[in-house]
Amino acid sequence: MIRYHQLIRSDLKLIRRDPMLILSLLAPLLYTAMVIWGIPFMVEFVSVEFNTNIEKYAPFFKFFLMPVAPMLFGMVYGFILLDERDGGVISYLAITPLGKSGYLAVRMIMPVLYSLIFNISFIYISGLDVYLNTFQAILLSLIMATEAPMMLLFLGAFASNKVEGIAISKSFGVLLIMLIPDFVFQGTWLWVFSASPIWWLQRAVFHPVHSWGYLFGSAIVHFVFILLLYRRFNRRFD
């Protein structure tokens, strides 16, 4: 337990010394403020100035922002991992009592905890709780929180350094873009976007009749993504 505590304290020191990592952790708070004040203002502004009601799109805008926090938390810990790999720290820790598995467990669990707390809070602050009961909200928050280790493993598996990590982390935005057609259009052809794990969570929120089925499907898709990325990460780590 002491070893884990020391590693967590070391992570916090690294984050405090890097302005980009600090901003990445603060960004979810900034766009939560936008959800609270910015979206209502925009809805009213468009209604008054352009005589157009966009209120029906507000829930989608809110949900669209929600997965960004786990991605950012995962990116922060992914950058820490890349820095430590460049410095040979990971190789050293792998032969200590903490071990490779203990090291990776801390790296994956911490952003999941941050994400879970944020997701649950965001659901109730944004008003998305009207689409879900309490248990569904918690389950959705937990599943979405696993996108943090997905991002971490993605960076560890494909990036050689932080510069590459910054570049390839932007590709995660594709998962968000795949949400737009499903909200705007209708039809069975939209299942082509089911490759995105977030697509299933969006369906769980906005298709309440089948919420449990989409939550179950999302859990499976997230698990498959994490498993594949973990195997890739392991091969590169070794």
Distance CA 29, CA 34 (A): 9
Whether the model pTM is above 0.75: yes
Averaged pLDDT, 8-23: 76
Question: Under a CB-based contact definition with an 8 Å cutoff, are residues 208 and 131 in contact?
Answer: yes
* pLDDT of amino acid 29: 87
Token pair 């990592």: residue: 21
> Helix, strand, coil proportions of the chain in percent (round to 5)?
85, 0, 15
Q: Please indicate whether residue 212 or residue 82 has the higher confidence score (pLDDT).
A: 212
191 three-class SS: helix
Query: What percent of the chain is predicted at pLDDT more than 70?
Result: 89
User: And the tokens for 162?
Assistant: 């932080």
Query: What percent of the chain is predicted at pLDDT more than 90?
Result: 37
